[in-house]
Amino acid sequence: MPHYQPPLRDMHFVLDELLDLNAELAQLPAHAGLDATTVHQVLEEGGKFAAERLFPLNQTGDREGCHYDAATRSVTTPRGFRDAYQQYVAAGWPSLACDPAYGGQGLPVALNNAFYEMLNAANQAWTMYPGLSHGAYECLHAHGSEAQKQLYLPRLVSGEWTGTMCLTEAHCGTDLGLLRTRAEPQPDGSYRLTGNKIFISAGEHDMAANIVHLVLARLPDAPSGTRGISLFVVPKFLPDAQGEPGERNAIGCGAIEHKMGIHGNATCQINLDGATGWLIGEPHRGLNAMFVMMNAARLGVGMQSLGLTEVAYQNALAYARERAQGRSLSGTKASSAPADPIIVHPDVRRMLMTARAYAEGGRAFTSYVALMIDRELNHPDDAVRREAADEVALLTPIVKAFLTDNAWIATSEALQVFGGHGYIAEWGMEQYVRDARINMIYEGTNTIQSLDLLGRKVLMDQGEKLRRFGEKIRHFIVAQSADPAMAEFITPLADLAEKLVKLTAEIGGKAAADPEEMGAAAVPYLRVAGHLVYAYFFARMAKLSLTRAAGGDPFYQAKLATARFYFARLLPETAMLIRQARSGAASLMAMDFS
Ligand SMILES: Cc1cc2nc3c(=O)[nH]c(=O)nc-3n(C[C@H](O)[C@H](O)[C@H](O)COP(=O)(O)OP(=O)(O)OC[C@H]3O[C@@H](n4cnc5c(N)ncnc54)[C@H](O)[C@@H]3O)c2cc1C
């Protein structure tokens, strides 16, 4: 049976020691009264909910899956999901980082983010129900009319209603410009929506009284392509005069998908048969409004992958300590046993350390991005807010793609630690691998994230956002250059930073002559950028740990060991990636597939 222990010690290290949460919050008037102690108390309680309430439903939810009843077009979630959700709502968890004006607790994004890591580690399929609701909350909060906010936000904040994002159609996934769902204006100011959406997560279920679908559709006068897409709020039950769920709207679930992982989350075909909806924001500007939700969801998907990386690591570690096979190459370690535990073998340790390093690097990086979002939302100085927003925009595709690729690697390595037992359902490891796979696909595939990073965030911006983030890295490098103990971290960090600058210029030059060059380089480019970010955070964590390890706390020794492993074993991948990125488009485009 798998187990899960919330990684609270490492969260405290990252939030307090590495990122100085107290000082950050003190700059933000909305959070100035909050201290790290309160944050820790919330995380401790949140960790208990995740480990004690959600984790036991993870394997059972995977085995049972969701049930669809065609007669009523209803979906029943796996046993226990509904009760856990009601408990979650009763405890006020959905409102954690929401606006107090709508019943929220107004706590920082950084706290919510850490909470979501634990929820996802415990049960990704379950966590998608409240996760999507939070995205819908953010979108309506940013773009809804006052009346829409008053109606929907308090109910999304309390968790009484849940939300979805309805973009995908059978012929239209990545290329949203192809979407066909129509919205016709009605005399009363509402719209009548007709069309078919597919793959809608949490599109139908039995967990909440109403479902608030955010639907992309075209108005009759819409220009073609992405410039003709509008966003609508389409509730499952039309709210009555008191805002309570009233008449059933003509939007419903036609089927649910049978799929590789996240079986406890209902992936729905959603049919709109003249459903009533209301426009959110400006006509034809729906994609712009939906980007709020999509960006939140991209960070959310990164957190799904971080959770899976952590839980897979914890289980592989426990197994490697117990499982006895063979003898250590350097001589017997467990002389009273017929064999040594497999943790003595160098390659088993490589697999464990890979998962551990990706978990710790990912936690430091995503906590930083979450704090930048808090700055972007709440800092009193406009210029600071804008700078934080630019940084979040630059780093979001890296969070989404780098963390999800790493989780695929990490869960697979963690499974491998179990040998054949990892492939057997009982141990839970194969579920982590299956669940991790979708994260590389939805919310914009990782290819699309890479094109977004290299094309839009770096080249279209003449490298300005990248240069400003690079300045932070450069300052750190300069500040550490006199410390010989930091050389093992700073030298490779500085080397990679320089190589990324050169690589960016080279691809930019080639792409100006042939745009295929950008498409050919984007995926390895994002991975190089991801490694640069991780190298920066591991170097910063190493700096702290070098100073604090002298106190004898084994936590800091372990942190240093992980940082050293990262630089020795994972970062060198960048040499190959840079060669791939530089190799150009020719070898990809030469084949005549006809
Ligand atoms: C379990 C699950 C849950 C989902 N949940 C939701 C949801 O809640 N709401 C929702 O709206 N959607 C959801 N989706 C849909 C998901 O976001 C899409 O599957 C995804 O965006 C990719 O679209 P597609 O499947 O049509 O693939 P396609 O767009 O057909 O892409 C196929 C391949 O071509 C590549 N490709 C496509 N265009 C380009 C390009 N321009 N350049 C380079 N490569 C390209 C892609 O990277 C991919 O590898 C979900 C999907 C699944 C499987």
- Per residue in 69-84, pLDDT (tens digit) is 999 999 999 999 999 9
Nearest C-alpha to atom 16 of ligand 1 is from which residue? 442
Q: Whose CA is nearest to atom 36 of ligand 1?
A: 174
Nearest CA to ligand 1 atom 30: 173
Q: How far apart are the first and last CA of the chain?
A: 50
Ligand 1 atom with minimal separation from the 446 CA? 47
Question: Which of ligand 1's atoms lies nearest the C-alpha of 441?
Answer: 20
Helices (H), 425-567: 429-438, 446-451, 464-480, 487-513, 516-549, 554-565
Question: How is residue 32 written in tokens?
Answer: 């100035």
Choosing from 134, 164, 441, 589 the residue with most ligand 1 atoms within 8 A of its CB, the one to mutate for a pocket test is 441
Quote the pLDDT of residue 567: 98
**Catalytic residue check, 443:** yes
What is the distance in A from the centroid of ligand 1 to the CA of 441? 6
Q: Whose CA is nearest to atom 12 of ligand 1?
A: 168
Closest residue CA from atom 51 of ligand 1: 199
| Ligand 1 nearest-atom number relative to CA 175 | 29
At residue 309, the pLDDT reads: 98
pLDDT grade, residue 43 (50/70/90)?
very high
Taking CA atoms only, the protein residue closest to ligand 1 atom 32 is 174
Protein residue closest via CA to atom 4 of ligand 1: 199
| 33 pLDDT tier (thresholds 50, 70, 90) | confident
pLDDT value for 476: 98
Ligand 1 surroundings by CB, under 6 angstroms? 165-168, 173-174, 199-201, 259, 267, 438, 441-442, 444-445, 447-448
The residue whose two tokens read 């706390």 is 553
pLDDT at 582 over 90: yes
Contact of 96 with 289, CB cutoff 8 Å: no
Q: Which of 443, 464, 471, 517 is catalytic?
A: 443
Q: Ligand 1, atom 17: nearest CA belongs to which residue?
A: 442
Average pLDDT over residues 343-372: 98
Cα 232 to ligand 1 centroid, rounded to whole Å:
21
What is residue 293's predicted lDDT score, i.e. its pLDDT? Answer: 73
Atom number, ligand 1, closest to the C-alpha of residue 172 = 26
C-alpha 174 – ligand 1 centre gap (Å):
5
- pLDDT, tens digit (0-9, with 9 covering 90-100), for 102-154: 999 999 999 999 999 999 999 999 999 999 999 999 999 999 999 999 999 99
Ligand 1 atom index nearest CA of 174: 29
pLDDT of residue 208: 98
For residues 472 and 474, what is the distance between their CA atoms, to the nearest angstrom? 5
How remote is the CA of residue 338 from the centroid of ligand 1, in Å? 51
Mean pLDDT across the stretch 264-283? 98
Atom of ligand 1 nearest to the CA of 259: 1
The pLDDT of residue 292 is above 80: no
Task: Give the phi and the psi of residue 551 in degrees, each rounded to 5.
Answer: -70, -10
- Give the lowest-confidence range in 44-53, 288-297, 517-526, 552-561: 288-297
CA of 442 relative to ligand 1 center, distance in Å: 6
- The length of the chain, given as a count of residues: 594
CB 211 within 8 A of CB 164: yes
Nearest ligand 1 atom to the CA of 216 is 11
User: Which residue's alpha carbon is at the smallest distance from atom 37 of ligand 1?
Assistant: 174
Centroid of ligand 1 to alpha carbon of 537 (angstroms): 31
The one-letter code for the residue type at 289 is: A
Choice from 445, 446, 523 to test ligand 1 binding pocket (greatest atom count within 8 A of CB):
445
Q: Helices marked H in 330-423 — which ranges?
A: 346-378, 382-417, 420-423
Residue of 65, 54, 61 whose CA lies nearest to 122? 54
pLDDT band at 295 (very low <50, low <70, confident <90, very high): confident
Distance CA 229, CA 217 (A): 6
Distance between Cα 37 and ligand 1 center (Å)? 41
Return the pLDDT at 233.
Answer: 98
Instruction: Say how many Å lie between the CA of residue 200 and the centre of ligand 1.
Output: 12
CA of 444 to the centre of ligand 1 (A): 6
The pair of structure tokens assigned to 171 is 């012929």
Q: Which residue has the CA at smallest separation from atom 25 of ligand 1?
A: 173
Which pLDDT score, from 0 to 100, does residue 551 have? 86
Query: Ligand 1 centre from 168 Cα, in Å?
Result: 8
Cα(131) to ligand 1 centroid in Å equals: 19
| Ligand 1 nearest atom to the CA of residue 132, by list position | 8
pLDDT score recorded for residue 422? 97
Q: Take residue 152 and report the two structure tokens written for it.
A: 């929907």
Across the chain, what does the average pLDDT equal? 96
**pLDDT tens, residue by residue, 426-483:** 999 999 999 999 999 999 999 999 999 999 999 999 999 999 999 999 999 999 999 9
pLDDT at 294: 80
pLDDT at 355: 98
Place of tokens 């936690």: 363
Alpha helices (H) in 3-107, listed in sequence order: 8-12, 21-26, 36-48, 58-64, 81-90
Sign of CA dihedral 61, 64, 65, 67: negative
pLDDT of residue 76: 98
Picking from 279, 273, 268, the residue whose alpha carbon sits closest to that of residue 248 is: 273
Can you tell me whether residue 245 is helix, strand or coil?
A: strand
pLDDT score at 177: 95
Element (H, E) at 69: strand 67-69
Residue 458's pLDDT is 97
Q: Which protein residue's CA is at the shortest distance from atom 2 of ligand 1?
A: 199
Q: Residue 262: how many CA atoms within 13 Å on its side-chain side?
A: 28
Mean pLDDT over residues 368-394, rounded? 95
Q: Which residue has the higher pLDDT, 291 or 482?
A: 482
- DSSP H/E element including 576: helix 573-582
Residue closest by Cα to atom 52 of ligand 1:
199
Tell which one of 66, 197, 199 to mutate to probe ligand 1, the residue whose CB is within 8 A of the most ligand atoms: 199
Give the predicted TM-score (pTM) of the model.
0.98
CB count within 10 Å of CB 161 equals 23
The alpha carbon of 445 and the centre of ligand 1 are apart by a number of angstroms equal to 6
Per DSSP, the three-state class of 205 is coil
Q: Which atom of ligand 1 is nearest to the CA of 443?
A: 17
